[in-house]
Structures are given as C-alpha cells and as structure tokens.
Amino acid sequence: MPMDLSPIDKAKFVAAKRAVDYVEDGMRVGLGTGSTAAWMVRCLGEIIREEGLNITGVPTSSRTADLARNVGINVISLDEAKWLDLTIDGADEFDADLNLIKGGGGALLQEKIVATASDRMIVIADVAKEVAALGAFPLPVEVIPFGWQTSKALIEETLVNMDVLGQNTTLRMNGDTPFVTDEGNYILDLHLRRISNARQLSLVMNQVPGVVENGLFLDICDVVVIGGGDGTVEVRDINEGTVEQDKMDFTESDNLFADL
C-alpha cells in the first residue's frame, strides 16, 4: 500500500481492491462514479493488464467512461449490454440495512439505472460513510432545468409534512453557474440532517413535477465493502447475513498509481 496516501484514501483503496475480487472473467460490470469508484476502475485496469482479465464495463458517467478507457477497460453502453452481472459503486452514506444516499458526484440517475439493471450491487466505502440514520449527507434530487425554481418550491413545501430534521434546499453550483449532469439536468441538494422514513420520502420526491430521480438507493445494495485507513476491510452481505473481516497489505503498483 502506498505510504504517502492519506488514511481516507487508503481506506478507499483497500475497499476497492477487495471489491474487485467479485469480478470474474467474461462479466459485464457496472462502473460507478466518484473518488472511491475511481480506485476500483484503476484496480480493474491493473488486473486486465497484468492477468488478462476479460470484462466489459458499463460506466455511470462520462468521467468514469474516460477513466475506464484510459486504463484499458472495454466500455459499452447499458443499451448494448442490456443486463449486467455486477455493479460496483461508492456511496455517500449507508445504514445498517444497506440503504444508501448517492449522488454527491452528480451521477445519481445513471448510477441508479445501472445498479438496478444488475444481478448484484457491491458498494465500496470508507468507515466514515456508515450512519445510524440516513440524512446527514445532503440528499441529491435531479430536476430538469425548465421550471427548476418551481420544482424547488414544491419540494420545500412537501418537506414540511415529512419526518425530517431540516428542510433547507440548495441548487448545486459549479462555480458561478448551476452544476449540470450528463443528462443536462440540475441537482437540488436537500439538507435534511435526518430521514426517518426514507421509503416515503423517496416516493413523494419522485411525484414532484420536474423531478427526474432522487439519491435514495433503497433495497438495491447487496454487499458493502468497508475500508479502514489501517488496511482493514469488512464485507457485509445482506442476503447471506454474513460479515467477514480481513486486513489487506499491498505494495505500490507503478501502473495503478502513475496517474495520481
């Protein structure tokens, strides 16, 4: 393991390294978006180069697609793949039931479509992402640009009747202009602090005119791989009801870390 990485990056790295053990030759794999998922993509590229692993990747964003091609992964669209064996992605938060908040990287729509088109979803995360209740991380909601302020007002009105601690809603920005997703949409971040009924909130949010999708991933994740800054890894499989713990020790790979 590279010694110059911060503890949080070491945690992301070991989680990603452990998660790629689920990838087998010939698989169609959904490739997530975000800093932890980027480690996973690099790890897959290393295995392809060094061991000849033959997989097809379906990226969840243009950023991930670019990285995947750069490390040697054959990339196709979800329409071409039709169905996936596995998706590996990060999360902004997860709870004991492996429900998630995602979308901090702005790719929640493609991430949710790809994850639900997979036989299994593996989530990779550092230990800080586990929470007792979802909501500390702002909930992203993707909205179309047309009438976004109306959608925002309707969301804020709806939140009054929801069991949440906060109701502040902000438009995600990219400098002085709104952040724009790969689909050309905007993202509203809901600062809720705590979500007591995620299922109800998810259903209600998606009924607001102009809302495309929200960042609550419920009953989608099958396995979470949790990395620690000291190299420890915990793997929780919600379907099998198992918890495995290990400690990983890796030497630095010139190929894997050359672009960092």
Whether 213 sits among the annotated catalytic residues: the reply is no
* Catalytic one of 111, 156, 183, 240: 111
Among 108, 149, 120, 134, CA closest to 195 = 134
What is the β-pairing status of strands 56-59 and 74-75?
Answer: parallel
- Confirm or deny that 129 is annotated as ligand binding: yes
- Confirm or deny that 102 is annotated as ligand binding: yes
- Confirm or deny that 4 is annotated as ligand binding: no
- Confirm or deny that 92 is annotated as ligand binding: yes
Q: Give the CA count within 13 Å in the CB-facing half-sphere of 102.
A: 30
- Confirm or deny that 90 is annotated as ligand binding: yes
Q: Is the CB of residue 185 less than 8 Å from the CB of residue 179?
A: no
- Confirm or deny that 89 is annotated as ligand binding: yes
- Confirm or deny that 151 is annotated as ligand binding: no
The whole-angstrom separation of Cα 187 and Cα 213 is 10
The whole-angstrom separation of Cα 197 and Cα 188 is 20
The whole-angstrom separation of Cα 127 and Cα 108 is 21
Q: Is the CB of residue 84 less than 8 Å from the CB of residue 114?
A: yes
Catalytic residues: 111
Binding-site residue ranges: 33-36, 89-92, 102-105, 129
Binding site listing for substrate: 33-36, 89-92, 102-105, 129
